[in-house]
Amino acid sequence: MKTPLLALTLATGLVALPAMAQDLCSGLGAAGQWIGGTEAASDIATTDAAEQQNVLVLGGGQYVSLFSLSSGADVRIEAAAAGVGDPTVYLFSAEGAVLGTDDDSGGNGAARLETTLQPGTYCVAVQSFSGDPLSGFVRIGRTDQEPLTTGVDTDTTTTTTSSGDAQSCSQATMAGYFGDGGPVDSILAAGISGSASAADLPFWRFTLAEPQALTITASNTDADPFITLFDAQDSWLAENDDYDGLNSQIDMTAPLPAGDYCIGVKALNDASQPITLTLKAYDAEAARLGVFDRAEAAPPLDGSYPVTDLGTVPPRSRQDVTPQGKAQWFKLDIDQAGLLMIEAVAVSDGGDPYLVIFDDLGRKVVENDDYGSYNSMAVARVLPGSYLVAVKHLDPSQTGMIRLLIERYVPAN
């Protein structure tokens, strides 16, 4: 399973960023570094060559790069380890929407994401797939500039996915169809779904009459689905595992051209379990809110997303919560420097709480899952100010009660 998004960034040479950068990407920009060294030098639309940075990611952390485009361009984002390592990249819009992600498309464990972007400012987060420490490089440039990675060969009839198995969807491959087999454009707004086990139906096809930006989801945590998207030439386009708990999702934020497509479906756990596959139009606002629902980023405090204000933290308090498929958020005020300790205990059998703390700029302070058991504990030194705490079940299908114990300790005189 990938390390949850937006872990604490640790890198050398951090410098203070202007207020605008601190507000980028729902606060992610506060920990970012301009890929060209300065904002002016980070306009990828005008650079003579791709820009590159050294990356250091400590266990469970991430490195964040910032870049801009003064005009639309075809952009290539890459991350490669210096030695052993398996980097993953995430691309965010200035508003914090996830625009794309990749793990192994660069070849040899490197990440490579190619997409068409409009003028604007963007954030790129680099993480270690395994959560282990990682050192390496991130390069951002146009697709006409020299790449950092070799890339995978997508012209062959068999594609090896990051799940470790070969997969192919040629024109001769037997597959199910969304709808009646004709273009699905008119029903994408409402969405269309199909359900079958991976053993019975490992491939699904759909057709687009016009270019469309799409979201593809595969749901059933008992099966642990893994999905791969191919075009009509059997070329690999995208894949995902564990986007939301054990469920999977692919967001094709750049419109796919009109044509035929195939989705490969595998079950990493139980291939006999039915998997619900859904195809719908990509919703940028839903994607932005989904980042908060999964506790991957801290939401704004402007009332546009539900956050319960617990006020100034007393020495000890308790809070019972019942997450319904998404994280519940709390705001805590700290009036004196000291130590904050929060425990999340599953009251119901089978619960698996996940706990994370952010500061008021949206930077992750600490996270925890499975402290000694399936319960969680997060401990952090804190300064006076506001903090955001999210708690959820690691499996979004679980809805049992979670009990939070919040304790605050201050230095003795």
For residue range 294-332, list pLDDT tens digits in order: 898 999 998 899 999 999 999 999 999 998 889 999 999
CB-based contacts of 354: which residues, under 8 Å, 6+ apart? 4, 295, 344, 367, 368, 369, 376, 391, 392, 393, 394
Which pLDDT belongs to residue 4? 35
Q: How confident is the model at residue 211 (pLDDT cuts 50, 70, 90)?
A: very high
Check if the beta carbon of residue 378 is closer than 8 Å to that of residue 406: no
Specify the pLDDT at position 361: 87
Model confidence pTM above 0.85: no
- Judged by average pLDDT, the poorest of 101-110, 191-200, 335-344 is 101-110
The string of DSSP codes covering 219-277 is E-TTT-EEEEEEETT--EEEEEE-SBTTBEEEEEEEEEPSEEEEEEEEESS-TTSEEEE
As a whole number, mean pLDDT of residues 149-177 equals 62
The full set of domain ranges for the chain reads 19-142, 159-290, 299-409
> 199 in helix, strand or coil?
coil
CA distances from 332 to 9, 164, 197, 313 (A): 22, 43, 44, 6
CATH code for the part of the protein at 19-142 = 2.60.120.380
CATH of domain 299-409: 2.60.120.380
In the prediction, which pLDDT does 152 show? 64
Compare 108 and 307 and report the one with higher pLDDT.
Answer: 307
Under CATH, which number does the domain 159-290 receive?
A: 2.60.120.380
In sequence order, what are the residues at sequence separation of 6 or more whose Cβ sits closer than 8 angstroms to the Cβ of residue 35? 42, 44, 51, 52, 53, 65, 66, 67, 124, 138, 140
Q: Which residue has the higher pLDDT, 83 or 57?
A: 57
As a whole number of angstroms, the distance between CA 297 and CA 28 comes to 8
- pLDDT of 165 higher than 60: no
Q: Return the H-helix or E-strand segment holding 59.
A: none
Cβ pair 367, 357 in contact under 8 A: yes
What's the whole-number mean pLDDT along residues 260-279? Answer: 92
Mean pLDDT computed over every residue of the chain = 84
Per the DSSP assignment, residues forming a β-bridge with 176 are: 204
- 299-409 matches 19-142 in CATH topology: yes
pLDDT number for residue 59: 63
Which is nearest to 194 in space by CA: 270, 281, 274?
274
Phi, psi dihedrals of residue 26, rounded to the nearest 5°: 55, 40
